Amino acid sequence: MVNISAVTAAPSPDLLTPDNCAVLFIDHQPQMFFGTGSGDRTAIINATAGLAKSAKAFDVPVVLSTVAAESFSGPIIPQLSEVFPDQKIIDRTTMNAWEDVDFVEAVKATGRQKLVIAGLWTEVCVVLPVLSAIAQGYDVYVVTDASGGVSPQAHEHAIQRMVRGGAVPVTWVQVLLELQRDWARSETYMSVMDVVQEHGGTYGLGVVYAQAFIGDHAAG
């Protein structure tokens, strides 16, 4: 039953804001992409880059992590390292990043309650830390299109398992627009439009068209 007198124009505390979340990128590495078969790998790379630039646009803290970078999986993809050139990358031996002390300490250092997580593979290196973080009290949002598994079934079953465990599935564009949430926020408006145009596919083309159309009329 809704208490009408208590209803206000205010956002839900479940929503992501630049001040309440951190973004964790786990194992976006060449060898991991080679084994990804749940979807188009170029699309996953694009979504990952879009998510990274979204975090940067709003100055959201990020944690970058790899597994066996020098011995097997290779370096973190340039689409991430170029966005965060000065960011320390935490390399692990553990498949579950939440069992790596340096990784967990980096997450704790962000001071954020909500964790936005993307990685490869969904059924191993994403699901394990997601469930572990939830068990320790974090609110976790899994960016499904910036993650991938070895097969469609592996990816989908992992998402189902995480949802049952309390995680919230989202997409990278959803994260970007949830962080912006009001087009009157001029300080981030142009950065958001830049990310959309570069990584938003046909949505981005729509922005290009609208800007050209408005520009033509303004010039006239």
Question: Catalytic residues, which ones?
Answer: 125
Angle between helices 172-180 and 41-57 (to 10 degrees): 20
**C-alpha angle 30/35/37, rounded to 5°?**
120
- 26, 65 contact by CB (below 8 A): yes
- Residue 67 CA to its chain's centroid (Å): 18
Q: Which residues contact residue 115 at a Cβ distance below 8 angstroms, ignoring those fewer than 6 apart?
A: 21, 22, 23, 24, 107, 133, 138, 139, 140, 141
- Give the strands of the sheet with 21-26, arranged side by side: 89-92, 62-67, 21-26, 114-119, 139-143, 168-170
Instruction: Tell me the CA end-to-end span of the chain in Å, nearest whole number.
Output: 54
3-state secondary structure (DSSP) of residue 4: helix
Three-state SS annotation for 24-36:
EEECCCHHHHHCC
Residue 116: which H helix or E strand, with range? strand 114-119
